[in-house]
Amino acid sequence: MFQAFLIKYGEIGIKGKNRHLFEDALVHQIKYALKPVEGEFLITKEQGRIYIEALGNYDYEEVIESLQCVFGIVGICPVVLTEDKGFEQLVEDIISYLDSHYTDKNKTFKVNTRRARKNYPLSSMEINAVLGEKILEAFPEMKVDVHNPDIMIHIEIRKKINIYSDIIPGLGGMPVGTNGKAMLLLSGGIDSPVAGYMIAKRGVKIDAVYFHAPPYTSERAKQKVVDLAKIVAKYSGPIYLKVINFTDIQMYIYEKCPHEELTIIMRRYMMRIAEYFAKETNSLGLVTGESIGQVASQTMQSLAATNEVCELPVYRPLIGFDKQEIIAVSEKIGTYETSILPYEDCCTIFVAKHPVTKPNLKIIKRSETHLEEKIEEMVKTAIDTAETIVVEAERL
């Protein structure tokens, strides 16, 4: 059983001062991911490495699963850490490592040594050569293969000696918290949770806003959005979710504006309100799950009309994705099953039979003037009555 894990992370673009920010954020996210896992863990940074040591019993599978949700981790190496007690001892340690971790010895191997400190009496090449021989002596079934070995035995000579032979892939990306914050427009659909995941993958912390339209949308529809946020939070960390009561605004637009323009005008008000909260909480942009051409409200003209009300940049990480590609990601991250549950969405309730697909901004703006009497007051009320829910990660 391994008592420690060596965490590998990407090094491109994290030179100098950024490196500390990157590492500190990564340690923070690892702690968050391990919090609900049974066992006690010590997390340390050393010479450009992050180690997780288990102080006592722990659940191996759970640790791996949790770490596989942390952005910034490229590889997770279950590692044996030994004190440097001379080369003889190292030989013994390697032999017993192989003996205990590989019951079937009928395998090819290669020894790959790296010295992070140069005061070790043997060079890396010498260590590789001598250890190779000793392994062949100890396990005659094993064979050397320097090109494509079954077992790559990594030995790193550091303060302690690191022995590992397995690199479990991580998610990659950047640790959340290294690239500012954005406001996600989160609906109960398939797309927006995936969009949130993808932005968080680049190190961006996310808050979210959901437009609720009771009694047309039910408590269950709202709960579905909270459930989706819980799943996204496994990767992004806790999400501050604003639930906006959108019913009055929708009804008012329905009453005053041409029905084929309803969706566009409604989406413009969603963006305005989302932007208000984004600015209030220091988000640097808005995020949606839109992709070009998916529906009438996502043609280039519609996107332009929606965009026009925003001062902050609007990020659309799925812009070039086909639905099937989006579904593939949602299945991978675990949101798909929840997304397809059949609860009503506020956009579908008032939807027109023939929505405009090429909205003309001048016409849309003219229609919006019909709202002048009450809309400002309504937006203010929606903002003032917003509910905030702190959504923590759903646990395994």
List Cα–Cα distances, 262 to 120, 259, 312, 351, 376, in angstroms.
73, 5, 23, 7, 18
Residue from 178, 187, 247, 335 binding ligand ATP (CB under 6 A): 187
Candidates 55-63, 130-138, 149-157, 286-294: pick the segment binding ligand ATP (CB under 6 A): 286-294
Compute the distance between CA of residue 164 and CA of residue 220 in angstroms, rounded to an integer.
48
Compute the distance between CA of residue 302 and CA of residue 308 in angstroms, rounded to an integer.
10
- Does 27 bind ligand ATP (CB under 6 A)? Our answer is no
Closer of 54 and 314 to ligand ATP (Cβ): 314
Closer of 187 and 247 to Mg ion (Cβ): 187
- Shortest Cβ 190–ligand ATP spacing (Å): 4
- Does 289 bind ligand ATP (CB under 6 A)? Our answer is yes
Closer of 138 and 312 to ligand ATP (Cβ): 312
- Does 192 bind ligand ATP (CB under 6 A)? Our answer is yes
User: Read out DSSP for 68-104?
Assistant: TT-TTEEEEEEEEEE----HHHHHHHHHHHHHHH-S-
For 369, which DSSP code?
Answer: G
Q: Tell how far CA 124 is from the center of its chain.
A: 37
Length of the chain: 396
Size of site (CB under 5 A) for Mg ion: 2
How many Cβ atoms from other residues are within 10 Å of residue 32's Cβ? 19
- Does 189 bind ligand ATP (CB under 6 A)? Our answer is yes
- Shortest Cβ 187–Mg ion spacing (Å): 4
Residue from 74, 295, 351, 389 binding ligand ATP (CB under 6 A): 295
Residue from 78, 189, 196, 317 binding Mg ion (CB under 5 A): 189
- Shortest Cβ 295–ligand ATP spacing (Å): 5
Those residues whose C-beta lies under 8 Å from the C-beta of residue 84, and which sit 6 or more positions away, are 90, 120, 157, 160, 161
- Does 346 bind ligand ATP (CB under 6 A)? Our answer is yes
Look at residue 297 and give the partner it binds from Mg ion, ligand ATP, none, a contact being a CB closer than 5 to 8 Å depending on partner kind: ligand ATP
Per-residue binding letters, 64-103, with ligand ATP (x by CB under 6 A): ----------------------------------------
Say how many Å lie between the first and final Cα of the chain, rounded.
22
Closer of 79 and 225 to Mg ion (Cβ): 225
Look at residue 346 and give the partner it binds from ligand ATP, Mg ion, none, a contact being a CB closer than 5 to 8 Å depending on partner kind: ligand ATP
Size of site (CB under 6 A) for ligand ATP: 19
Sheet order of strands, 286-287 included = 314-315, 286-287, 181-185, 205-212, 239-245, 387-391
Closer of 189 and 317 to Mg ion (Cβ): 189
Cis peptide before 238 (omega within 30 of 0): no
- Does 333 bind ligand ATP (CB under 6 A)? Our answer is no
- Shortest Cβ 259–Mg ion spacing (Å): 19
For residue 210, give both structure tokens. 């959901």
Query: What pairing do the DSSP bridges indicate for beta strands 239-245 and 143-144?
Result: unpaired
- Does 187 bind Mg ion (CB under 5 A)? Our answer is yes
Candidates 85-93, 121-129, 285-293, 327-335: pick the segment binding ligand ATP (CB under 6 A): 285-293
- Does 290 bind ligand ATP (CB under 6 A)? Our answer is yes
Closer of 297 and 338 to ligand ATP (Cβ): 297
Look at residue 338 and give the partner it binds from Mg ion, ligand ATP, none, a contact being a CB closer than 5 to 8 Å depending on partner kind: none
Look at residue 162 and give the partner it binds from ligand ATP, Mg ion, none, a contact being a CB closer than 5 to 8 Å depending on partner kind: none
Contacts by residues 135-143 (CB-CB < 8 Å, ≥ 24 positions apart): 135/94, 135/95, 135/98, 135/109, 135/111, 138/95, 138/98, 138/99, 139/98, 139/99, 139/105, 141/105, 141/106, 141/107, 142/98, 142/105, 142/106, 142/107, 142/108, 142/109, 143/107, 143/108, 143/109
- Interacting residues toward ligand ATP by CB under 6 A: 185-187, 189-192, 209-211, 288-290, 294-295, 297-298, 346-347
- Interacting residues toward Mg ion by CB under 5 A: 187, 189
